[in-house]
Amino acid sequence: MQNLEGNKWYRGRERLFVAVDCVIFGFDQGVLKLLVFKRAVEPLKGEWSLIGSFIQEEENANEAAKRVLKEITGLDDIFMEELKTYSKVDRDPGARCVSISQYALIKIEEYDKELVEQHGAFWFAVDSLPSLVLDHNQMVVDALEHLRHKVQFYPIGFELLPHRFTIPQLQSLYEEIFQKKLDTRNFRKKFFSLDLLNKTTEKDKSSSKKGAYLYQFDLKKYNTLQQSGFNFLLLKK
Amino acid sequence: MQNLEGNKWYRGRERLFVAVDCVIFGFDQGVLKLLVFKRAVEPLKGEWSLIGSFIQEEENANEAAKRVLKEITGLDDIFMEELKTYSKVDRDPGARCVSISQYALIKIEEYDKELVEQHGAFWFAVDSLPSLVLDHNQMVVDALEHLRHKVQFYPIGFELLPHRFTIPQLQSLYEEIFQKKLDTRNFRKKFFSLDLLNKTTEKDKSSSKKGAYLYQFDLKKYNTLQQSGFNFLLLKK
DNA sequence: TATAATAAATGTAAAAAATACATTTATTAT
DNA sequence: ATAATAAATGTATTTTTTACATTTATTATA
């Protein structure tokens, strides 16, 4: 980093605390959940909060968020994107602090349950969240809105499902995200027409006698299609 | 602001410079343009740049961006939204600085031309921009991608047009944004079916002998429709 | 004052996509 | 063998999208 002495441009400018906060979604048995965190330290000890961190010297915002996610869940290599910046002057009564929210979609059966417990983190259904500190409830509302929009145009739903999943699981994910029942026949027709699912020969019999075939999302095919101007667009209405 | 002495939480945390940078779009005679700025002061004097500012003590990011926009263009009450945060450690060689990009859509005939000139700002067609400082070209690329997406789902195109505009103007705006010729008949049919345009009795004869009727966007109607789960969705492909 | 020139405005038929809707199938437990 | 359960499937109707060419209003000029 360059020596700033004598550089009028930076001299006297305010510097702010800059944090990231992670909105971590999981999909558990038909329910969309969020990982929230009971603060063990002051300030705001004992209150529910998203998981966050100040940005450190040697990392950018996304790296900070990934670091936090790794610390809490043990998970690496997760779908995570910046959402929005929260910069209201008084949003944090402790100090002037800007927070960059990042949302993550995780496969709920893969995270390290012990680690999560150690960090005082819990899963809540998104529709029955407790009151969170600062503007964290707003962050969740914004993240949900974004998720609902984005999931229609990009195949990110798979990030919330196991590597192999059934069509009923996939449908229930979309039903949960859109808060709307979908027709089985039309859902399948639509999804199969996209030609992005590979059927395996195995069935998941955990929720029926007949069992439902397991499928995998074909990311390579998607990438190829997308490059040629393909539109994922799942639901019109 | 609370006294932080004794508050372990903040003590020793790094503080960063936080700036906003404005990606200002305008639509001028069929061409999508961007307002860029020749720096008059060090550092990077003489180079092309987006217009930005450090966030000040008493303002949030959006307020900072609106302040800048007002200073440069004289315009108030402009469509402006946060886009993305740029936080790479070395993005600014002068100091560790995070920038929040904000994009604005302005009606190009309304800004204060003298003010703009005074500030060394110029309009460039987006497809022939000069090289900009830091990661500002990336900001523009990201803003364009966002604009292309958003304009399909939200009626923000009108922010770039005069209050009253013709259908040919509207169509050329979409053609310019999507970089694609559209069919006049289908374009009109689609737009009229949305029922969001009010036809006036006046014509604009500046580009044809016959003249084209002037229309206005009906924001109230849009708001009502949107609340009842309406989908703007302009183009499928 | 007729004609040429110019961009604006319009309609229809065919193809594709979305929707509504009910039965059969595979398997397990009794 | 039968009952129970969730998975899987097909078709007809409606809606939306697409492709495509001519007429209209006006001004300038011959």
Strands A121-125 and A165-166: unpaired
Q: Give the three-state DSSP class for A55.
A: coil
CA of A131 to C1' of C13 (A): 58
What is residue B236's predicted lDDT score, i.e. its pLDDT?
Answer: 56
Tokens of B19: 């700036």
CA distance B160 to B179: 16
Q: What is the pLDDT of residues B150-209, one digit of tens each?
A: 999 899 999 999 999 999 999 999 999 999 999 999 999 999 999 999 999 999 999 999
Tokens of A170: 């996939």
Q: Is the pLDDT of residue B237 over 50?
A: no
For A14, the closest of B4, B56, B82 (CB atoms) is: B56
Q: How far is CA B164 from the centre of its chain?
A: 19
What is residue B38's predicted lDDT score, i.e. its pLDDT?
Answer: 94
Among A143, A135, A109, A134, residue whose Cα is nearest residue A123: A109
Mean per-residue pLDDT over chain B, rounded: 93
Query: At residue A185, what are phi and psi to the nearest 5 degrees?
Result: -65, -45
What is residue B6's predicted lDDT score, i.e. its pLDDT?
Answer: 59
Across the range B64-75, mean pLDDT stands at: 97
- Looking at the DSSP bridge assignments, the partners of residue B217 are B197
Q: How far is CA B58 from the centre of its chain?
A: 24
Tokens of A18: 């800059």
- How crowded is residue B22: how many other Cβ atoms within 10 Å of its Cβ? 26
List chain B residues with CB under 8 Å of A54. Answer: 13-14
What's the maximum distance between 2 C-alpha atoms anywhere in chain B? 76
What is residue B234's predicted lDDT score, i.e. its pLDDT?
Answer: 72
What is residue A236's predicted lDDT score, i.e. its pLDDT?
Answer: 58
CA distance A108 to B49: 44
Closest C1' nucleotide to B211's CA: C8
Q: Give the three-state DSSP class for A227.
A: helix
Per-residue HEC secondary structure of chain B comes to CCCCCCCCCCCCCCEEEEEEEEEEEEEECCEEEEEEEECCCCCCCCCEECEEEECCCCCCHHHHHHHHHHHHHCCCCCEEEEEEEECCCCCCCCCCEEEEEEEEEECCCCCCHHHHHHCCEEEEEHHHCCCECCCHHHHHHHHHHHHHHHHHHCCCHHHHCCCEEEHHHHHHHHHHHHCCCCCHHHHHHHHHHHCCEEEEEEEECCCCCCCEEEEEECHHHHHHHHHCCCCCCCCCC
Cβ-based interface (< 8 Å): residues of A facing B: 1-2, 4, 7-10, 13-18, 41-43, 54-62, 82, 84-85, 87-89, 93-96, 98, 100, 149, 153, 231, 233, 236-237
For A1, the closest of B59, B61, B96 (CB atoms) is: B96
Q: What is the DSSP letter of A56?
A: P
Task: Considering only residues A209 and B232, tell me which one the structure prediction assigns the higher pLDDT.
Answer: A209
CA distance B17 to A57: 12
CA distance A158 to B147: 26
Q: What is the pTM of this model?
A: 0.94
Minimal-distance CA residue of chain B relative to A94: B2
Contact A54, B14 (CB under 8 A): yes
What is residue B235's predicted lDDT score, i.e. its pLDDT?
Answer: 65
For A56, the closest of B7, B14, B17 (CB atoms) is: B14
Closest approach of chain A CAs to the CA of B140, in angstroms? 17
Contact B7, A94 (CB under 8 A): yes
What is residue A86's predicted lDDT score, i.e. its pLDDT?
Answer: 98
Contact B107, B161 (CB under 8 A): yes
What is residue A232's predicted lDDT score, i.e. its pLDDT?
Answer: 79
Across the range B80-102, mean pLDDT stands at: 96
Amino acid letter for position A220: K
Element containing residue A168 per DSSP (H, E): helix A167-178
CA torsion sign, B193 to A230 to B182 to B137?
positive
Cβ-based interface (< 8 Å): residues of B facing A: 1-2, 4, 7-10, 13-18, 41-43, 54-62, 82, 84-85, 87-89, 93-96, 98, 100, 149, 153, 231, 233, 236-237
pLDDT band at B40 (very low <50, low <70, confident <90, very high): confident
Tokens of A149: 């929009």
**Contacts of range A193-199, beta carbons closer than 8 Å, 24 or more positions apart:** A194/A232, A195/A221, A196/A155, A196/A221, A196/A222, A196/A225
Q: Which residues have a Cβ under 8 Å from the Cβ of A172 and sit 6 or more positions away?
A: A30
CA distance A101 to A52: 9
Domains of chain A in start order, with CATH, are 17-150 (3.90.79.10), 156-235 (1.10.10.10)
What is residue A200's predicted lDDT score, i.e. its pLDDT?
Answer: 97
CA distance B16 to B4: 17
The pLDDT profile of chain A, 237 residues, written as one tens digit per residue, is 455 555 788 988 999 999 999 999 999 999 999 999 999 888 889 999 999 999 999 999 999 999 999 999 999 999 999 999 999 999 999 899 999 999 999 999 999 999 999 999 999 999 999 999 999 999 999 999 999 999 999 999 999 999 999 999 999 999 999 999 999 999 999 999 999 999 999 999 999 999 999 999 999 999 988 877 677 777 654
